[in-house]
């Protein structure tokens, strides 16, 4: 069971959280200007990185807020957690929310 | 009779004899004995049979690494535990233990015929045969192999014992209470850290318990242990957990411990759990798990009486039991000398120490010489003899140049061996710490760590008591310091010189020609050195492949005694260095953990929370039959007298259509969406246009995911300009809120809107039927119930029976309907008031089954029953709900994909059997042409089917390809008994104009 | 290929088993091949075998970064069944079940396929509806699956608790009698041995680090830890690592890789005669020939390549097992392990050509790939050899996600309404 640092509440056990998948994937809009390829990329395509990954968690049994985390998927160790809207602490990835 | 009990010594309580039985025969032991030591004290060495060859086996060890002596201990039929290691079973008065995997008896086991056929059964033999004829594997061979395999038997009754679970936090968790662990715990505790110290044995002390002669700080080991453990026990910041195995190391310094609470008691208090699971989150961990002695691999090394030297020493020093009268000690390490010396003193004649090393260490030789024990250098073992107990050993001599000469035959009833000690690196490896191979010592030690842990003492390959105490102290201090506690401690002074624990893994040298006898590497699984060689010959080179092909290390001891020997043999056989061969992964658990303690409290009704509505007890008292919907209990129907479900549902339906029904809808999910951005938020989430919905009005809402498929539905009421009351399906409440929060927080943080789950705040009482208004009118205040004032799909606030009321005029039955929302605490009172008021109107409580029938008659879908996650709004005739002018909403882009509008999509229709008599089965398939054989051309399936009391014949809803264009056609439902001809109809069977609904 | 039989075993016994030959060569990679399969699990080894045996391609290599069969092939709970809901799925999986029947004879390697029956329990009215839809759909597709009442479930599986003293009582079950188990390692080794005999090079400890494309964008080689290896046809069957390997060709996949755990009990005498599954309470259990209860746990919540998961996932599963089999509480967990499962959005696999000429993909099997091994391998080989999908795998494209033509086995088992 992971120990996750909610940026609002502090360290809490994984049982209090739900996982939200890859972070920094913005929903394209309006629909009529979104290509089929962009749409499927938003809906389904994922980096699924082996290594450092920016991902979303929700402290659903706590403050109920979503936040982002940097985690190494080869060790399950967290490097950082940060609030939605904040840039990736390591400067990687895209800048979108 | 305890002929083999030494006159004195050991930590057993000689004043407390214990009666127990093994295989039906009674024996006497002493308090403090394990089953193993007690049986040895009675001269019993034959304790089990091996897995494959059914060879007679005795004790190899004295600890949890034991591969041979597996027994079943049964208090009764349900409290029967198979495969327990006799070395870990503490005896109590009346304990009944049985040997396993033998028939008819342990001494005469018919299964041992496989031992004679062993040449036919090399490693992996089963991959090469049993293939003809084709069906013979499953019908003939496999059942026989299965019957022969397995060890003990599963109990036959439900286990009545309780199991407990606990979470704990600490600064420093110390695993293992031997010298290093005790020193670590003491040092950490003195610095002020919160310490948990656990040890798998009944008594703390680890290997020190076997060393009564050792002196620490000027006192003997027993006195030091008593003082040290006593001191720890007095400290408020220390938790001592004996009989507690740390079995797993999980990410982020979470460890699993299993504490055994009652198995050692003759009469456990009924409220005492059998075991307790501890899930410990430690800031720092000290692994002081010690080391395990390695056996030597030589022909006939598995006869009862062949034992690890440290085990013989333990039986003597800890339990006061002699393992034989005449022993030969086989030394692959200096530790064997220590055992030989102790045994000699304890009254066991040591014929010789046969040292398998070319150059024994000088101190060891000197010690043996002083004790007058003969040492044979450069020895090997060529054979042993004895059927149920070793009788003699044939030694060989390794000549310079490597040739082997035949040596002498020594009579003995115990052959004690030591191949050196293997550090117990299991937990370090489980935590994903790296391992380092030490070529000089020939073992792995912990390398770089992945978690906040450090190993101490023998667990990281250190030799001797002094080193263990020093290292443990430093580890304890360092761990405490890492948690911010400063302390200082002087390690205890030691006045015992220890012999080295180094040794050599692998097989003892043998003559070039194959000896007929087997040299075992993995005792329990009967894996021999020749099996390993065969695997290599057949091209298996990865140690993982060799393990899987030969099953070495896969027995219930998980390779604790066999792992390094197998590795040594493979490395030698393939001329590779050990690290090149690799090491199989250490997996949790360290030793087996019962399912019961892992399941813990989650049993019976506590398996999952039970959600009950406020009116649950009322329904229960009226004899309602409940169904599980998610965690909820929902009343399915209310049988009267001898009614079955069909009769009850028919009556309930007729009441709703003809008079009035009362339905508990409290389980529907409820979410309040509030704020200046509420309308915009709802417009973006749901397909509907909410801008045009006036406050006080409600609308049927459809929620898609962004993939364009229906996710949920429900009535949404606009309570005010900035406030919506959203209802969801019963099962969808949590996931809809999660979806809403996801978009609110992640995609549209600029919207000023707040979401609150109010599911359990409201009791919802649906009153449905032509008399509904008449029933509730006398109870409601502050709401004009007339059709003109409160039209279908309206909402109003008022009071009912004095309670605040949120009144919906909605209908899921097709009749005039109201849904009374009152605070949950008022639910039962209001329900009872409505029920009382409805008596003169023929009010009838109805359950979910009647609700389903009524809604199906009306053609209303149930998300999850009539939809399955591949259904668009248009597929189920809900395209009308979509707000066409909205720039965006969840799923809008997906609905624009060509395939979502292509012909051939399944659409919701009604189906009636052509003869109007057949009730279709839900899930039945639909085809266009009769008489098909599989694979058929399937064009749809039945989603809902009920006997309709209103129509007097069965009805069905179905999803059928291009269904709306097929209305009027005849299709077929292929059933095992033949096709059923069905007519495609509109999905609305009742009151298509909505006259009842709007009444 | 040295023939395996009772006779050869007997003959070898007299020679001390010294005459057995390596089951497959330890091949060093050549400079180029007609086809390369990336991933030495059952699906990849099988595909190489069928390329050689059915499509006449004998210059084929399987590149495995570790040891063959060491991924999900050697880590799963070996359940075999084909009672899937959608017609496309049922036909795909049943293709495999039909091949399981004589796979041992076909490969001359006993894979121990044991059709002991897979019983999938229902615990709610909704479960029953879903089960019955499966049964009807399967029957119309020629796939055996039948409904058992609770008493019939008990008769088929005597230790099962059908009492009402548990939170979610058993209301019945769907039984596929042809479902069962097989020996997972034997599948990898059997395919490896048979493929090797046809000239396929099985290259272990060879990790693919790059996918090279020519001027037209078509694949021409892979870079590996053992050098560059040329091929105009590259099939990727890398399971949990599919996203990583396909990322080398610049392709993002609709996959997420989750830890999936399993565990075994200590071996006991036969007690469980069939496979029992409960999707509702997450219990999946069978008994191996060795006597161990083989139990599948759930996936962890988060993506990971660590091949391990959390304790609480196992606790949940064992609680469910103990409810269904209350006599098992005193049995003990012997060994737990984790795999990396590549989960697709609709829980259905992907076997297809890709946008890159010469690059083929077989992935997305999620928690259930083992059962499909022979069929998947067979169809993947076909797809590679013909440069077009076989009709049975034609619906299982990458494009279905773009077009919304999902084969949604997950939603089909939708949770309670």
Residue pLDDT, tens place only, B899-930: 999 999 999 999 999 999 999 999 999 999 99
Whether the CB-CB separation of B657 and B642 falls below 8 Å is answered with no
- The shortest C-alpha distance from B126 to chain A (Å) reads 37
Confidence (pLDDT) at B1 = 46
% of chain B at pLDDT higher than 70 = 99
Residues 6+ apart with CB under 8 A from B871: B709, B710, B906, B959
With vertex at residue B925, the alpha carbon angle to CA B924 and CA B929, rounded to the nearest 5 degrees, is 135
- CA–CA dist B575, B20 (Å, integer): 51
Residues 6+ apart with CB under 8 A from C206: C29, C63, C64, C65, C224, C225, C226
- CA–CA dist C374, C48 (Å, integer): 11
**In a domain? residue C93:** no
Confidence (pLDDT) at A96 = 40
Q: How far apart are the first and last CA of chain B?
A: 94
Q: Which residues of C touch B870 (CB under 8 A)?
A: 406, 408, 411-412
**In a domain? residue A45:** yes
- The shortest C-alpha distance from C220 to chain B (Å) reads 31
B888 in reach of chain A (CB within 8 A)? yes
- CA–CA dist C139, C82 (Å, integer): 11
Question: What CATH number corresponds to the domain at position A77?
Answer: 3.30.2270.10
Whether the CB-CB separation of B961 and B906 falls below 8 Å is answered with yes
Q: How confident is the model at residue B401 (pLDDT cuts 50, 70, 90)?
A: confident
C359-363: strand order across its sheet: C201-203, C60-63, C35-38, C234-236, C359-363, C350-353
**In a domain? residue C288:** yes
Identify any residues that bridge with B297 across adjacent strands, giving them in sequence order: B507
Q: Average pLDDT of chain B?
A: 95
| Inter-chain touch B749–A66, beta carbons under 8 Å | no
Instruction: Print the domain residue range for A31.
Output: 3-83
What element of type H or E holds B975? strand B970-975
Identify any residues that bridge with A46 across adjacent strands, giving them in sequence order: C253
Q: How confident is the model at residue B515 (pLDDT cuts 50, 70, 90)?
A: low
| Inter-chain touch A47–C252, beta carbons under 8 Å | yes
Strand duo B660-664 + B843-845: pairing: parallel
**In a domain? residue A97:** no
B625 in reach of chain A (CB within 8 A)? no
Number of H helices, E strands in chain B: 24, 51
Spatial CA neighbour of C271 closest among C108, C159, C113, C356: C159
Structure tokens at B367: 């010690």
Residue A80: is it exposed, middle or buried by C-beta count within 10 angstroms (0-12/13-18/19+)?
Answer: middle
- CA–CA dist A87, A54 (Å, integer): 10
User: For C288, which residue in chain B has the nearest alpha carbon?
Assistant: B146
- CA–CA dist B339, C330 (Å, integer): 36
- The shortest C-alpha distance from A72 to chain C (Å) reads 8
- CA–CA dist B677, B687 (Å, integer): 17
Nearest to C301 among A18, A47, A75 (CB): A18
Identify any residues that bridge with B436 across adjacent strands, giving them in sequence order: B445
B641 in reach of chain A (CB within 8 A)? no
Q: How far apart are the first and last CA of chain A?
A: 28
- The shortest C-alpha distance from C178 to chain B (Å) reads 11
What element of type H or E holds B128? none
Q: How confident is the model at residue B503 (pLDDT cuts 50, 70, 90)?
A: confident
Nearest to A75 among B253, B450, B746 (CB): B450
Q: Supply the DSSP string of B797-837, one letter for each residue.
A: EEEETTEEEEEEE--SSSSSEEEEEEEGGGHHHHHHHHHHH
- The shortest C-alpha distance from A64 to chain C (Å) reads 17
With vertex at residue A45, the alpha carbon angle to CA A41 and CA A51, rounded to the nearest 5 degrees, is 130
**In a domain? residue C42:** no
Three-state secondary structure string covering chain C: CCCCCHHHHHHHHHCCCCCCCCCCCCCCCCCECCEEEECCCHHHHHHHHHHHHHCCCCCEEEECCCCCCCCHHHCCCCEECCCCCCHHHHHHHHHHHHHHHCHHHHHCCCCCCECCCEEEEECCHHHHHHHHHHHHHHHHCCCCCEEECHHHHHHHCCCCCCCCCCCCCCCEEEEECCCEECCHHHHHHHHHHHHHHCCCEEECCCCEEEEEECCCCCEEEEEECCEEEECCCEEECCHHHHHHHHHCCCCCECCEEEEEEEEEECCECCCCCCEEEECCCCEEEEECCCCCEEEEEEECCCCCCCCCCCHHHHHHHHHHHHHHCHHHHHCEEEEEEEEEEEECCCCCCEEEECCCCCEEEEECECCCCHHHHHHHHHHHHHHHHHCCCCCCCCCCCCHHHHHCCCCCHHHHCCCCC
Confidence (pLDDT) at B509 = 81
Per-residue pLDDT reduced to its tens digit, B124-135: 999 999 999 988
| Inter-chain touch A44–C254, beta carbons under 8 Å | yes
Residue B485 Cα distances to B171, B187, B189, B476, B482, angstroms: 9, 11, 9, 11, 7
Per-residue pLDDT reduced to its tens digit, B211-220: 999 999 999 9
Nearest to A1 among C255, C312, C345 (CB): C312
| Inter-chain touch A31–B706, beta carbons under 8 Å | no
| Inter-chain touch A43–B707, beta carbons under 8 Å | yes
Whether the CB-CB separation of B235 and B270 falls below 8 Å is answered with no
Nearest to C414 among B119, B869, B900 (CB): B869
- CA–CA dist C39, B615 (Å, integer): 58
> What three-state secondary structure class fits B916?
coil
pLDDT value at A92 more than 80? no
A92 in reach of chain C (CB within 8 A)? no
Interval B592-610 mean pLDDT: 97
- CA–CA dist B560, B562 (Å, integer): 6
- CA–CA dist B217, B492 (Å, integer): 6
Whether the CB-CB separation of B662 and B841 falls below 8 Å is answered with no
Nearest to C252 among A36, A41, A55 (CB): A41
> What three-state secondary structure class fits B275?
strand
User: For A29, which residue in chain B has the nearest alpha carbon?
Assistant: B888
How many domains are there within chain A? 1
- CA–CA dist B380, B390 (Å, integer): 17
**In a domain? residue A61:** yes
| Inter-chain touch A31–B892, beta carbons under 8 Å | yes
Residues 6+ apart with CB under 8 A from C215: none
| Inter-chain touch B738–A43, beta carbons under 8 Å | no
Alpha-carbon torsion (C75, C79, C80, C84), positive or negative: negative
* Helices B309-319 and B335-345: angle between axes, nearest 10 degrees: 40
pLDDT value at A95 more than 60? no
Mind listing the pLDDT tens digit of every residue in chain C (417 residues)?
A: 999 999 999 999 999 999 999 999 999 999 999 999 999 999 999 999 999 999 999 899 999 999 999 999 999 999 999 999 999 999 999 999 999 999 999 999 999 999 999 999 999 999 999 999 999 999 999 999 999 999 999 999 999 999 999 999 999 999 999 999 999 999 999 999 999 999 999 999 999 999 999 999 999 999 999 999 999 999 999 999 999 999 999 999 999 999 999 999 999 999 999 999 999 999 999 999 999 999 999 999 999 999 999 999 999 999 999 999 999 999 999 999 999 999 999 999 999 999 999 999 999 999 999 999 999 999 999 999 999 999 999 999 999 999 999 999 887 654 433
Count other C-beta atoms under 10 Å from residue B901's C-beta: 11
| Inter-chain touch C304–A19, beta carbons under 8 Å | no
Number of H helices, E strands in chain A: 1, 6
**In a domain? residue A91:** no
Write down which chains contact chain A via at least 3 CB pairs under 8 A: B, C
**In a domain? residue C300:** yes
With vertex at residue B28, the alpha carbon angle to CA B24 and CA B31, rounded to the nearest 5 degrees, is 125
Question: What CATH number corresponds to the domain at position C320?
Answer: 3.30.9.10
Best residue in B131, B851, B932 for a mutation probing chain C (most C CBs within 10 Å): B131
With vertex at residue B215, the alpha carbon angle to CA B212 and CA B217, rounded to the nearest 5 degrees, is 140
Per-residue pLDDT reduced to its tens digit, A23-71: 999 999 999 999 999 999 999 999 999 999 999 999 999 999 999 999 9
DSSP state of B232: H
Per-residue pLDDT reduced to its tens digit, B164-210: 999 999 999 999 999 999 999 999 999 999 999 999 999 999 999 99
Residue C195: is it exposed, middle or buried by C-beta count within 10 angstroms (0-12/13-18/19+)?
Answer: buried
| Inter-chain touch C257–A48, beta carbons under 8 Å | yes
- The shortest C-alpha distance from B75 to chain C (Å) reads 12
**In a domain? residue C301:** yes
Strand duo B669-674 + B625-629: pairing: unpaired
Whether ipTM tops 0.90, in short, is yes
How many domains are there within chain C? 1
Interval A14-25 mean pLDDT: 97
**In a domain? residue C154:** yes
| Inter-chain touch C345–A36, beta carbons under 8 Å | no
- CA–CA dist B112, B813 (Å, integer): 72
């Amino acid at each position: 069971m992971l120990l996750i640092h909610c940026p609002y509440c502090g360290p809490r056990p994984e049982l209090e959280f739900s996982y939200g998948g890859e972070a920094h994937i913005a929903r394209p809009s309006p629909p009529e200007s979104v290509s089929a390829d962009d749409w499927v990329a938003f809906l389904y395509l994922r980096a699924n990185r082996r290594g450092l990954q920016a991902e979303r968690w929700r402290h659903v049994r706590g403050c109920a807020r979503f936040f982002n985390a940097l985690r190494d998927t080869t060790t399950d160790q967290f490097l950082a957690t940060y609030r939605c809207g904040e840039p990736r602490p390591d400067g990687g990835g895209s800048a979108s929310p | 009779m305890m002929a083999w009990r030494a006159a004195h010594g050991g930590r057993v309580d000689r004043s407390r004899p214990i009666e127990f039985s093994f295989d039906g025969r009674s024996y006497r032991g002493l308090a403090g004995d394990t089953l193993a030591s007690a049986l040895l004290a009675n001269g019993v060495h034959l304790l089990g049979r091996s897995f494959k060859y059914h060879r007679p086996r005795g004790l190899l060890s004295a600890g949890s690494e034991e591969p041979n002596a597996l027994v079943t201990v049964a208090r009764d039929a349900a409290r029967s535990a198979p495969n327990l290691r006799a070395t870990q079973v503490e005896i109590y008065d009346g304990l009944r233990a049985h040997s396993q995997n033998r028939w008819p008896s342990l001494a005469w086991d018919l299964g041992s015929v496989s031992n004679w056929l062993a040449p036919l059964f090399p490693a992996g033999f089963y991959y090469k045969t049993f293939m003809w004829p084709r069906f013979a594997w499953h019908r003939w061979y496999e059942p026989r192999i299965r019957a022969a395999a397995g060890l003990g038997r599963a109990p036959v009754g439900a286990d009545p014992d309780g199991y407990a679970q606990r979470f704990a936090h600490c600064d420093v968790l110390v695993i293992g209470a031997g010298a290093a662990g005790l020193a670590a715990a003491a040092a950490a505790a003195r610095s002020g850290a919160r310490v948990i110290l656990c040890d798998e044995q009944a008594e703390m002390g680890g290997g020190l318990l076997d060393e009564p002669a050792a002196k620490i700080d000027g006192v003997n080991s027993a006195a030091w242990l008593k003082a040290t453990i006593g001191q720890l026990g007095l400290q408020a910041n220390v938790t001592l957990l004996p009989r507690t195995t740390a079995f797993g190391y999980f990410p982020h310094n979470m460890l699993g411990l299993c504490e055994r609470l009652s198995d050692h008691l003759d009469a456990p208090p009924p409220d005492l759990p059998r075991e307790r699971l501890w899930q410990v989150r430690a800031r720092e961990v000290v692994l002081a798990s010690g080391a395990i002695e390695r056996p030597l691999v030589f022909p006939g090394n598995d006869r009862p009486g062949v034992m690890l030297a440290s085990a013989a020493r333990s039986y003597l020093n800890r339990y006061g039991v002699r393992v034989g009268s005449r022993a030969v000690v086989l030394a692959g390490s200096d530790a064997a000398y220590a055992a030989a010396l102790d045994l000699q003193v304890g009254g066991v004649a040591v014929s010789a120490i046969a040292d398998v090393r070319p150059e024994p260490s000088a101190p060891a030789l000197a010690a043996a010489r002083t004790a007058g024990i003969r040492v044979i250098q450069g020895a090997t073992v060529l054979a042993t003899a004895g059927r149920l107990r070793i009788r003699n050993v044939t030694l060989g001599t390794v000549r310079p140049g490597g040739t082997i000469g035949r040596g002498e035959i020594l009579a003995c009833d115990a052959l004690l061996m030591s191949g050196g000690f293997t550090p117990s690196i299991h937990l370090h490896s489980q935590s994903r710490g790296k391992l380092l191979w030490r070529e000089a010592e020939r073992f792995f030690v912990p390398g770089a760590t992945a978690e906040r842990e450090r190993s101490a003492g023998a667990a990281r390959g250190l030799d001797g008591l002094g080193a263990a105490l020093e290292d443990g102290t430093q580890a304890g201090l360092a761990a405490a310091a890492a948690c911010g506690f400063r302390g200082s401690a002087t390690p205890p002074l030691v006045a015992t010189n220890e012999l080295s624990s180094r040794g050599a893994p692998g097989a003892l040298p043998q003559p070039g020609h194959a000896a007929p006898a087997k040299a075992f590497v993995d005792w329990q699984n009967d894996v021999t050195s020749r099996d390993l060689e065969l695997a290599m010959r057949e091209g298996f080179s990865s140690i993982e492949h060799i393990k899987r092909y030969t099953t070495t290390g896969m027995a219930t001891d998980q390779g604790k005694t066999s792992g390094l020997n197998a590795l040594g043999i493979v490395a030698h056989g393939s001329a590779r260095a050990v690290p090149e061969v690799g090491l199989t992964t250490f997996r949790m658990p360290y030793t087996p953990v019962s399912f019961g303690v892992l399941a813990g409290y989650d049993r019976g009704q506590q398996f999952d929370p039970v959600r009950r509505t406020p009116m649950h007890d009322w329904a229960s008292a009226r004899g309602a039959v409940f169904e599980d919907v998610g965690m909820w209990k929902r009343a399915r129907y209310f049988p009267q007298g001898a009614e079955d479900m069909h009769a009850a549902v028919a009556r309930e339906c007729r009441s709703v259509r003809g008079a009035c029904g009362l339905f508990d809808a409290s389980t529907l999910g409820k979410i309040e969406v509030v704020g200046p951005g509420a309308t915009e938020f709802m417009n973006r989430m749901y397909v509907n246009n909410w801008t045009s919905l006036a406050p006080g009005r409600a609308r049927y809402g459809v929620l898609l995911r962004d993939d364009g498929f229906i996710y949920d539905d429900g009535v949404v009421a606009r309570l005010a300009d900035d406030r919506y009351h959203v209802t969801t399906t019963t099962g969808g409440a949590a996931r809809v809120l999660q979806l809403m929060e996801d978009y609110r927080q992640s995609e549209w943080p600029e919207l000023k809107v707040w979401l609150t789950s109010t599911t359990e705040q409201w009791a919802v009482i649906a009153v449905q039927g032509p008399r509904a208004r008449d029933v509730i009118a006398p109870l409601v205040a502050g709401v004009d119930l007339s059709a003109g004032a409160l039209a279908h799909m309206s909402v109003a606030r008022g009071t009912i029976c004095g309670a605040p009321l949120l009144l919906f005029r909605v209908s899921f039955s097709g009749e005039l309907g109201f849904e009374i929302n009152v605070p949950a605490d008022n639910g039962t009172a209001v329900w009872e008031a409505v029920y009382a008021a409805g008596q003169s109107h023929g009010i009838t409580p109805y359950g979910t089954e009647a609700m389903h029938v009524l809604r199906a008659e009306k053609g209303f879908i149930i998300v999850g029953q009539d939809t399955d996650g591949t259904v668009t709004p248009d597929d189920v005739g809900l395209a009308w709900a979509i707000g066409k002018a909205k720039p965006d909403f969840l799923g809008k882009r997906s609905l624009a994909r060509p395939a979502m509008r292509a012909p051939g999509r399944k659409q919701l229709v009604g189906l009636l059997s052509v003869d109007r008599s057949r009730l279709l089965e839900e899930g039945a398939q639909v085809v266009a042409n009769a008489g098909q054989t599989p694979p058929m051309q399937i064009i749809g399936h039945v989603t809902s089917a009920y006997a309709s009391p209103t129509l007097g014949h069965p009805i069905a809803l179905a999803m059928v390809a291009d269904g709306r264009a097929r209305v009027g056609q005849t299709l077929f439902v292929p059933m095992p008994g033949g096709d059923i001809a069905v007519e495609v109809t509109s999905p609305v069977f009742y009151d298509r104009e909505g006259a009842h609904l709007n009444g | 290929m040295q023939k395996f039989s009772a006779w050869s075993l007997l003959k070898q016994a007299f020679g001390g088993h010294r005459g057995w030959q390596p089951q497959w060569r330890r091949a060093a990679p050549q400079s180029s091949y007609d086809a390369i399969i990336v991933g030495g699990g059952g699906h990849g080894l099988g595909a190489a075998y069928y390329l050689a045996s059915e499509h006449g391609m004998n210059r084929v290599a399987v590149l495995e970064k570790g040891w063959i069969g060491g991924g999900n092939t050697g880590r799963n709970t070996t359940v075999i069944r084909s009672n899937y809901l959608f017609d496309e799925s049922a036909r795909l999986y049943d293709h495999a079940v039909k091949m399981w029947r004589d796979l041992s004879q076909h490969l001359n390697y006993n894979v121990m396929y044991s059709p002991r029956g897979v019983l999938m329990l229902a615990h709610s009215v909704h479960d029953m509806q879903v089960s019955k839809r499966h049964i009807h759909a399967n029957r119309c597709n020629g796939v055996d699956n039948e409904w058992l009442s609770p008493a019939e479930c008990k008769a088929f599986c005597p230790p099962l608790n059908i009492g009402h003293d548990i939170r979610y009582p058993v209301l019945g079950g769907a039984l596929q009698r042809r479902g069962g188990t097989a020996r997972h390692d034997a599948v990898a080794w059997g395919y490896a041995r048979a493929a090797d005999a046809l000239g396929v090079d099985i290259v272990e400890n060879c990790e693919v680090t790059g996918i090279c494309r020519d001027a037209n964008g078509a694949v021409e080689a892979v870079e590996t830890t053992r050098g560059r290896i040329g091929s105009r046809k590259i099939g990727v069957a890398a399971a949990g690592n599919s996203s990583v390997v396909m990322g080398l060709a610049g392709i993002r996949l609709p996959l997420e890789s989750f830890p999936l755990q399993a565990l075994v009990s200590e071996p006991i005498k036969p007690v469980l005669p069939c496979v029992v599954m409960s999707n509702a309470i997450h219990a999946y259990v069978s008994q191996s020939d060795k006597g161990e209860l083989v139990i599948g746990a759930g996936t962890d919540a988060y993506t990971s390549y660590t091949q391990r998961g959390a304790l609480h996932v196992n606790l949940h599963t064992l609680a469910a097992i103990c409810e269904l089999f209350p006599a098992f509480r005193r049995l003990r967990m012997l060994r737990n392990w984790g795999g990396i499962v590549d989960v697709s959005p609709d829980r259905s696999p992907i076997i297809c050509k890709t946008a890159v000429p010469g690059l083929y993909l077989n992935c997305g099997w999620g928690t259930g790939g083992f059962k499909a091994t022979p069929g998947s391998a067979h169809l993947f080989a076909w797809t590679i050899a013909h440069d077009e999908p076989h009709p049975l795998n034609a619906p299982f494209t990458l494009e279905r996600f773009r077009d919304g033509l999902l084969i949604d086995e997950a939603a089909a088992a939708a949770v309670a309404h």
